[in-house]
Every structure is written in C-alpha cells, then in structure tokens.
Amino acid sequence: MLFHVEMDVNIPLGFDAEEAARLKAAEKARFQELQRAGTWRHIWRVVGQYANVSIFDVGSNAELHDILMSLPLYPFMTIRVTALCRHPSSLHDDR
Amino acid sequence: MLFHVEMDVNIPLGFDAEEAARLKAAEKARFQELQRAGTWRHIWRVVGQYANVSIFDVGSNAELHDILMSLPLYPFMTIRVTALCRHPSSLHDDR
Amino acid sequence: MLFHVEMDVNIPLGFDAEEAARLKAAEKARFQELQRAGTWRHIWRVVGQYANVSIFDVGSNAELHDILMSLPLYPFMTIRVTALCRHPSSLHDDR
Amino acid sequence: MLFHVEMDVNIPLGFDAEEAARLKAAEKARFQELQRAGTWRHIWRVVGQYANVSIFDVGSNAELHDILMSLPLYPFMTIRVTALCRHPSSLHDDR
Amino acid sequence: MLFHVEMDVNIPLGFDAEEAARLKAAEKARFQELQRAGTWRHIWRVVGQYANVSIFDVGSNAELHDILMSLPLYPFMTIRVTALCRHPSSLHDDR
Amino acid sequence: MLFHVEMDVNIPLGFDAEEAARLKAAEKARFQELQRAGTWRHIWRVVGQYANVSIFDVGSNAELHDILMSLPLYPFMTIRVTALCRHPSSLHDDR
Amino acid sequence: MLFHVEMDVNIPLGFDAEEAARLKAAEKARFQELQRAGTWRHIWRVVGQYANVSIFDVGSNAELHDILMSLPLYPFMTIRVTALCRHPSSLHDDR
Amino acid sequence: MLFHVEMDVNIPLGFDAEEAARLKAAEKARFQELQRAGTWRHIWRVVGQYANVSIFDVGSNAELHDILMSLPLYPFMTIRVTALCRHPSSLHDDR
Amino acid sequence: MLFHVEMDVNIPLGFDAEEAARLKAAEKARFQELQRAGTWRHIWRVVGQYANVSIFDVGSNAELHDILMSLPLYPFMTIRVTALCRHPSSLHDDR
Amino acid sequence: MLFHVEMDVNIPLGFDAEEAARLKAAEKARFQELQRAGTWRHIWRVVGQYANVSIFDVGSNAELHDILMSLPLYPFMTIRVTALCRHPSSLHDDR
C-alpha cells in the first residue's frame, strides 16, 4: 500500500553541529535499511530545499506511522502524508 | 531530469459526456505512449480525488512544458510542478 | 485500517430538484449498505454545513478510493482524506 | 452533544525530558479517566503526526472548554473544535 | 448554550429579483421569530459586507443545525460556527 | 458605535508565573471597569482556546485603539477588529 | 473618523457593455459627489488591477456601511474595511 | 510616484526597554523629517495593532527601498509595498 | 524603473475559439511592440502553466498601469505586480 | 535551462554582527563568481524587503540544487524555485 510523504527538515541555527551530524548519519542508515527492505521505495530531493518527496510501501497505516515517528530526524521534520493507489491507466504496477 | 507533477482534473458538471469520454481515452493513450517512452516514469491516483501525482523524466524544462500543455485533458487540469534531483543518501539512481 | 474523511457537498443553485432528490436517495442507500457492512463506521453532520465527518474502515487505500469515487453524490463533493491509526493511550481498539 | 476536536502537540526541542515524561503520563491518565467516563468517546492518531483526532460527548460547551483547558499537555497543543450532530441517514445513534 | 455564527450572503448577479425579495422577506420574518424567542440573541451587520455576525442561544448542537439549515437564505450563505462559553472574568451572565 | 474584537492570548512557555498572574489580575480589573462603563459590552470565551470574542461600544476608532493598546495583556495578544453596525431586520437596538 | 477601504471590481466577461458603461458613469458621479463632500477623502488605483485603495472620513460605522452598500458598482465589488486613527508621531491631522 | 506601504511592528517580549525607546525616538525623528519633505505623505494607525498604513511619494523604486531599509525600526517590521497611481475619476491630483 | 509582473491567463472553456485566436494574435503583436521598445524587457513561460513571469522597465507606476490595463488578454488575466530595484551586489546594471 | 528563484533572507535579531558581515561578504563574492560565469543571470532587490528575485541558467536541476545549498547565507534563506522556459512570442532568446 503506497503513501506519498513530504518531509521538510529544519535544524535550528546554533544546534550542536556534532549532534546534528550524528543524527544525520543515523537517519541515513535507517533510510538505507528501509530502502533495502523495499519499504521506502522512492526518495527525491526538492530543488533548493532541505526537503524530500518519498514513496512508502507499507502493510498498514500503523506501520507507516511507526516508521515515521522513529526516524532520527523526526523531531526536526514537518511531514505531510497522502494516501495513494494504483492509477487505472498505468501499464504496470507502479510502485 | 526529474519533475514532480500534481494534476487535479475538474470536468464541469453538465459537460458533454461523449466528448469527455473521447478526451479521457485520448489522455490515456497519450499517457501510455509517454509511459512506454520512459518520460512519464510514475503515476499514482490520490485517494478520494480525481487527481494524480506523477514523476516525469525529461531532457529540459521546455520539453516538460510542451508535454503538459498538449495533454488532451490539460484545459481541465490544475497543475503544480516541482523540480527534483537525486537524493544523496539513496543507494540507487532513483528514477 | 481507518481513515478520516471530510465531505463537503455543494449542489449548484438551479440544479434539477428531482435529479437531486434521486441522487440523495441513492447516496443514502449506498451509505446504509456500507454502514451495515462496517466499512463506513461513523458519520456526523458538521453543524451549519452541508458536510459530514466520517470514519472508514477498509482493507486498503484502493478500496477506500473505489468507495469514494462511486458515491452517487461524488461529483458534488469536496473530499479530504487523512490516514489514522490506533492511539497508544486508548483502552480499547477504537474503531 | 458531540464535538470533533483536533489536537496538535508540539513540545519544543530541548524541553526538559523528565518533565515531558511526567506531563505525558498525566495526560494519559486523564485521557483514560475521561474515556472510561464516556466523555472522550474516540481518539485516533494522525499518521505521521504528533496529533490526534477525537470525538467528545459533553453536556455543554462550557464542559468541553473546562476539559480541554485542564489537559496536562494543553500548553503545548494547538486545538480546533467543530460542533457535530447526528447524521439523518445514520441507522444508529452514532456516538 | 451560545454559538458565534458568521453568515456571508451571496445572491448571484442575475438571480430573479422577485424571488430574491420573497426570500429576504421570509428570512426577515424567520429571524424576528427567533429573535423574539431569545434563540437568535444578537445580530450585527459587518460594515461594507452583505454579512452578519450573530450569537445564538440554543439547547444543543442539533437545534442550531436545524435552525441554520432551514433559513430561507441558507442556499446563498457561507456559514462559520464557533462554540462559545461564559467568560470567567465577566460580571454578569453574558448572553 | 460597535466593534467586534477577537483576542487570542499567547503567554510563552517559561514566562515568569508570578508576573503572568499579576498581568492577568490587572487585565481582569481593567476589563471589569470597562464592562461596568458599558464600553466592553460583551465578552465570550472561545471553546478550547485561550481567546475571547468581544463587542465594544465606543465613541470613535481612536477610543477603541487607546483601550486595546493599554490592556495589560496586550503584548501577548493577537487582535482582529471588525467594524459593525445595527442590522436592519433587528427588532431592537442590538448592542 | 477614518477608514481604509480596498475595493476590487470584477465585472464578469459577457456582461452587457451598455449596462456596464451606465453603472461606471453612475459610480463616477457618486464618487465625485462624495469626494466634494470630503467623505471619500482619498482614492488611488492599484497598479495592474481594476481595484482602488480609498480613505473615507465618516461620522459613524453605519454611515460608511450605507455609503458602500449603495455604490452603483457594489454588486461587482469585493470590499475590505480597516478602521484607522491618527498616528501619534504625525505633525499634522492626517486626513 | 505613490506607493502604499503597510508596516507591522513587532518588538519581541524582553527586548531591552531603553534600546527600544531609543529606536522609537529615532524612528519618530526620521518619520517627521520625511513627512516635512513631503516624501512620507500620509500615515495612519491601524486600530488595535502596532501597525501603520502609509503613502509615500518618491522619485523611484530605489528611493523607496533605501528609505524603508534605513528606518530605525526596520529590523522589527514586516512590510508590504503596493504601487499606486492616480485614479481617473478623481477631481484632484490625489497625493 | 523595473517591475516584476506575473500574469496567469484563464480563457474559460467554451469561449469562442475564433475570438480567442484574434485576441492572442493581438496580444502577441502588442507584446512584440513593447519588447522592441525595451519596455517589456523580459518574458518567460512558467512550466506547466498558461502563465508568464515578466520584467517591465517603465518611467512611472502610471505608465505600467496603462500598459497592463490595455493588453488584449487583460480581461482574462490575474496579475501580481512587485516593485524591483537594482541589487547592490550586481556587477552590472541588471535590466 | 532557466529557473526563477525567490530568496527571502532573515538574519535573527541579536545574531553576531561580525559573523553576519563575514557571511554577507562571502555571499557577495560567490554571487559575483556565478554572475560572471553566466549562471546567476539576473538578480533584483524586492522593494522594501531583504529579498531578491533571481534568474538562474543551469544545465540541470541538480546543478541548481547544489548552487543554492552551498550559498553562504543559505541557512538564513527561504527559497521558492519555479521552472521557466522560453516564451513562444518572444523575439529573442530571453535569458
């Protein structure tokens, strides 16, 4: 089941640089784990923003919620979730 | 080069049903042609809306503009375009 | 899987009254069928509006989309969908 | 009498963790007390947000106001209240 | 129980003048009936707008809904409802 | 001359509690003085908000401005002012 | 007593040209009458818009309301009213 | 050449009171200098706000920009600029 | 003197195609006349929209207003005007 | 390939003045380097704002993203990016 998730990241000016680096590394590791598992199916940078557009493939709403809430950078994110489904015109199973 | 395109379709109440069917069939044919060509890389329905979220892969801004303006349902669409690029954490070339 | 759905209904001034009555009766019948099935779990009127707030319990995003798109009054509705999940503090399985 | 209440919770970065834990425990206890009393009839998490959608069943506007203002996490909440009533099509007394 | 209700009236250009006059007269009669009954406690014109701000005193949400939906000019109105309660500093029972 | 005034109060987290209590007491005293004088004609709490909706009866715009700017809690308020006038349908001089 | 009034004029495409010309002439005559009387103290065109920004000097809210509602182009206008007062730093009585 | 300028002033809670007083005095002096020169043609307080609406008469966009950027309270202001021109119906050269 | 002008064009569905073609040709001719004169210094299409972003170089606000109001497609346009000036860091006179 | 970029700069009150001066000098140097290279084709100040409107000419979305993210003042900027293309009516290659 697919969801469109937009994440804007805002780390405040003056936030401890080492802690920020640690959180970003943890975020990247967690992201790659979910990408390898096929859960975080797509991710793109939004040009000019510290933000991404992503597609998640999960078994339930609850699974998506748990994944998002436990992201290392979650406390710095503004998140918008949109439920998606297969488009009837598509020639393949667009995931 | 990737772009995120949101399309909301609004065919007015009372619009001629046959003409609408003709336009939708033309839209579908054009979409599948672009999907086969790899230009219209992804398309998803937004749940509860006559709307889609799409990812285009084009050679230039002008190519994207020409594609969108010539869609059969373009006169009924509200369109939002967002420029994307590859995310640095991604393990593969996310297209 | 639960979704929060807001529906605003707007039948234009001067729309044929008989056709409107027919559509409303069909909408009511369809609603009650889904309510009996446990799919349309809750519905409330918003005070002062021709609008409702509803909770749907469906197996997938696609199921919700198909239900909403086939509602008899769908062409007159503005719809907002929000994915929900169980609240961790709740004493029971809030559906 | 039913009200739809949306609560977004925003505890600032760097807020004392122990105090936050204490407030969350107090909030949970108060919530469960109201849930058992049938006042806080429904609560759902909004996917991807530290936010909930709730349905309250109260005797008056004033009762709802007093309940909301005395929630332990109230100072961290943004709240939206919408008055509801029974939907005429519903087969049961939807509370 | 008090509610703050804002009503913007928009009768389209070209709407039949006689029918409009009839509806306005019916609206005024209904308003005065509710004003005499103490239900429509206050009404004020918003300067420069075909709009009013009103205070209703009703026994329940449902009573308010039924009153608003049956106003002769309801089909031409945009309505916003806000639940109120007595202010703790007030020296009298502000209705 | 009547004005509709909405006041949202936002005292920041961590603001000195004693100073806040002193300001609230001063606000209440000033409010009651104006209420007794018939200037601050109505006040209601907005359910779920630290906010009020008020009706002022003043001799001029300048008088209203001076009253609002000198409220003890003014530095914590967001204020919206709307000019009102008597509604032509009203049976009495609605103040 | 001064008010800042913004007026956006929108005459629909296809509206009878002769009737529009008649209404514009009536509007201009009424404006000049009020300008001569010192009531409509200032008027400016907003660059690129069929809109104006105006300053009215009236004895009461009700007088302003009556003036605005009886403008020949009122049915085509969107109006925003803001109450003003003399600025304490001003060297003269800015009207 | 005329411009409509709205200035909202927001001096944060806890800002040094002496420095604020010094900046306000400097702002007033600069304002009066520009008012005497005929550049800052009009200024009005917005009722209930620490804000003004002003009309500037300048030789160019650049002159207006330089004036606004060098105002002593500029760092505390939110500014909106609208280009104006003479209204064709006006009986005099409305400046 | 430079201005940033955004123009969104919206020709309604069902508008006479021949008249639309005539207006577009007139718009193009007028645009090229102003481009040759150096008044309409830049124009760009916004990707995916029937809209443009333009830079005008005019002698006064009034000149810009007269140009915009007399564009053949003006009745179909939504226009936003922003006053610009030379950037202090620029190496050349950016027009 | 052209992009329209709006940059609003907001350096917080109380930010270290020397560090701000250093960052502004670095921003200016980087801007002029990109201007000389023809990448940052145009820049204008928005009147009354610490903000600019710019036109970039880049080979790809990714190139634009990398340029914007590495601007010395990027952490203080709010950025909006709009993809542009050549306007069909233009007499020259408007860059």
Predicted ipTM of the assembly? 0.96
Hey, which residues does A16 pair with through a beta bridge? Answer: none
Side chain identity at J93, as an amino acid letter? D
Tell me the CB-side half-sphere exposure of residue J32, using CA atoms within 13 A: 10
- Could you tell me if C79 lies within 8 Å of chain B, comparing CB atoms? yes
Is I36 inside a domain boundary?
yes
Is C44–D87 a contact, with Cβ atoms under 8 angstroms apart? yes
Which chains have at least 3 CB atom pairs separated by less than 8 Å from chain I?
B, G, H, J
DSSP state of F12: P
* Test the G interface: residue of F4, F6, F57, F60 with most G CBs within 10 Å: F60
Are D85 and E65 within 8 A, CB to CB? yes
Select from G15, B90, H71, G60 the least CA-distant residue to F61.
G60
What chain A residue is nearest to B28 in terms of C-alpha separation? A89
**CA F30 and chain centroid, separation:** 10
Enclosing H/E stretch for D24: helix D17-36
Which chains have at least 3 CB atom pairs separated by less than 8 Å from chain A?
B, C, D, J
- Alpha-carbon distance E19 to E26, whole Å? 11
pLDDT at G81 over 70: yes
Enclosing H/E stretch for E17: helix E17-36
Which chains have at least 3 CB atom pairs separated by less than 8 Å from chain J?
A, B, H, I
CATH number, domain of I25, equals 3.30.70.1060
How many beta-carbon pairs below 8 A join chains E and F? Answer: 81
Is J94–I44 a contact, with Cβ atoms under 8 angstroms apart? yes
Name the pLDDT band for I95 (thresholds 50, 70, 90): low
pLDDT at J94 over 90: no
Is G91–H36 a contact, with Cβ atoms under 8 angstroms apart? yes
Among A3, A61, A85, beta carbon nearest to C2: A61
Total-model pTM: 0.96
- Alpha-carbon distance B62 to B41, whole Å? 17
How close does chain I come to J49, measured CA to CA in Å? 10
**Count of residues for chain A?**
95
Which residues from chain J sit within 8 angstroms of residue B1, using beta carbons? 60-62
Is B93 inside a domain boundary?
no
- Could you tell me if D81 lies within 8 Å of chain C, comparing CB atoms? no
Which residues from chain E sit within 8 angstroms of residue F27, using beta carbons? 89
What chain H residue is nearest to F71 in terms of C-alpha separation? H48
> What is the model's pLDDT at position D92?
81
Average pLDDT of every residue of chain H: 96
Residue pLDDT, tens place only, B6-54: 999 999 999 999 999 999 999 999 999 999 999 999 999 999 999 999 9
- Could you tell me if G83 lies within 8 Å of chain F, comparing CB atoms? yes
Positive or negative torsion for Cα A29, A32, A38, A39: positive
- B43, two tokens: 């398309």
How close does chain D come to A88, measured CA to CA in Å? 26
Is E44–F86 a contact, with Cβ atoms under 8 angstroms apart? yes
DSSP state of E59: S
What are the b/e assignments for A20-38, b being 16+ CB within 10 Å? eeebeeebbebbeebbeee
C73 C-beta neighbours (distance < 10 Å), count: 18
Is A93 inside a domain boundary?
no
Is C76 inside a domain boundary?
yes
* Test the D interface: residue of C55, C82, C91 with most D CBs within 10 Å: C82
Overall average pLDDT of the I65-69 stretch: 98
Is F50–D68 a contact, with Cβ atoms under 8 angstroms apart? no
> What is the model's pLDDT at position G92?
81
Is E40 inside a domain boundary?
yes
Overall average pLDDT of the A4-28 stretch: 97
Among E65, E85, E86, beta carbon nearest to D85: E65
Which residues from chain B sit within 8 angstroms of residue J1, using beta carbons? 60-62
Is F81–H45 a contact, with Cβ atoms under 8 angstroms apart? no
Which residues from chain F sit within 8 angstroms of residue E53, using beta carbons? 4, 82, 84
- G13, two tokens: 């495409």
> What is the model's pLDDT at position H95?
66
3-state SS class at F65: helix
> What is the model's pLDDT at position G95?
66
| Residue F31: exposure state from Cβ atoms within 10 A (0-12, 13-18, ≥19) | buried
| Selected residues 23-62 of chain G with any CB under 8 Å from a CB in chain F | 60-62
Is E48–G75 a contact, with Cβ atoms under 8 angstroms apart? no
- F24, two tokens: 């609230």
3-state SS class at G32: helix
Hey, which residues does I45 pair with through a beta bridge? Answer: I52, J85
Are A23 and D13 within 8 A, CB to CB? no
What are the b/e assignments for E39-51, b being 16+ CB within 10 Å? ebbbbbbbbbbbb
Q: How many domains does chain C have?
A: 1
- Could you tell me if G93 lies within 8 Å of chain H, comparing CB atoms? no
C59 C-beta neighbours (distance < 10 Å), count: 11
How close does chain I come to B91, measured CA to CA in Å? 30
Overall average pLDDT of the E66-87 stretch: 97
Residue pLDDT, tens place only, E24-45: 999 999 999 999 999 999 999 9
Is H79–J13 a contact, with Cβ atoms under 8 angstroms apart? no
Which residues from chain C sit within 8 angstroms of residue A65, using beta carbons? 85
> What is the model's pLDDT at position C92?
81
Positive or negative torsion for Cα C57, C60, C66, C68: positive
> What is the model's pLDDT at position J95?
66
Hey, which residues does G6 pair with through a beta bridge? Answer: G53, G80
Is D45–A68 a contact, with Cβ atoms under 8 angstroms apart? no
> What is the model's pLDDT at position B47?
98
- Alpha-carbon distance H23 to H19, whole Å? 6
Enclosing H/E stretch for G24: helix G17-36
**What residue ranges in E21-72 does DSSP mark as E strands?**
40-46, 51-57
* Test the E interface: residue of C15, C47, C76 with most E CBs within 10 Å: C47
How close does chain J come to I14, measured CA to CA in Å? 24
pLDDT at B62 over 80: yes
Is I32 inside a domain boundary?
yes
pLDDT mean by block of 10 residues, chain C; 95 residues = 97 95 98 97 97 98 98 98 95 75
> What is the model's pLDDT at position G93?
74
Side chain identity at D20, as an amino acid letter? A
Which residues from chain C sit within 8 angstroms of residue B48, using beta carbons? 5, 64-65, 68-69, 79-81
What chain A residue is nearest to D13 in terms of C-alpha separation? A75
- B68, two tokens: 């969108």
Which chains have at least 3 CB atom pairs separated by less than 8 Å from chain H?
F, G, I, J
Residue pLDDT, tens place only, G9-47: 999 999 999 999 999 999 999 999 999 999 999 999 999
| Distant-in-sequence, close-in-space partners of B51: CB < 8 Å, separation ≥ 6 | B6, B7, B8, B9, B45
Are J6 and J79 within 8 A, CB to CB? yes
Are E91 and F35 within 8 A, CB to CB? yes
Is F34 inside a domain boundary?
yes
Report chain E's C-alpha Rg in angstroms: 14
E50: left (phi over 0), alpha (psi -120 to 50) or beta: beta
- Could you tell me if H85 lies within 8 Å of chain I, comparing CB atoms? yes
A73 C-beta neighbours (distance < 10 Å), count: 18
Q: Which domain holds residue G32?
A: 2-84
What chain B residue is nearest to J2 in terms of C-alpha separation? B61
Is E61–C47 a contact, with Cβ atoms under 8 angstroms apart? yes
What chain D residue is nearest to A7 in terms of C-alpha separation? D48
Are J83 and B83 within 8 A, CB to CB? yes
Phi, psi for residue I85 in degrees, rounded to 5: -150, 170
**What residue ranges in chain E does DSSP mark as E strands?**
2-9, 40-46, 51-57, 77-86
pLDDT at D36 over 90: yes
Are H51 and H6 within 8 A, CB to CB? yes
| Residue C18: exposure state from Cβ atoms within 10 A (0-12, 13-18, ≥19) | exposed
> What is the model's pLDDT at position G67?
98
Residue pLDDT, tens place only, J78-90: 999 999 999 999 9
pLDDT at E19 over 70: yes
Q: DSSP states of H19-73 as a string? A: HHHHHHHHHHHHHHHHHHTTSEEEEEEETTSSEEEEEEE-SSHHHHHHHHHT-TT
Name the pLDDT band for B93 (thresholds 50, 70, 90): confident
Is I93 inside a domain boundary?
no
- Could you tell me if J64 lies within 8 Å of chain B, comparing CB atoms? yes
Tell me the CB-side half-sphere exposure of residue J31, using CA atoms within 13 A: 22
Of chain A, the percentage scoring pLDDT greater than 70 comes to 98
Overall average pLDDT of the F2-24 stretch: 97
- Alpha-carbon distance I34 to I39, whole Å? 5
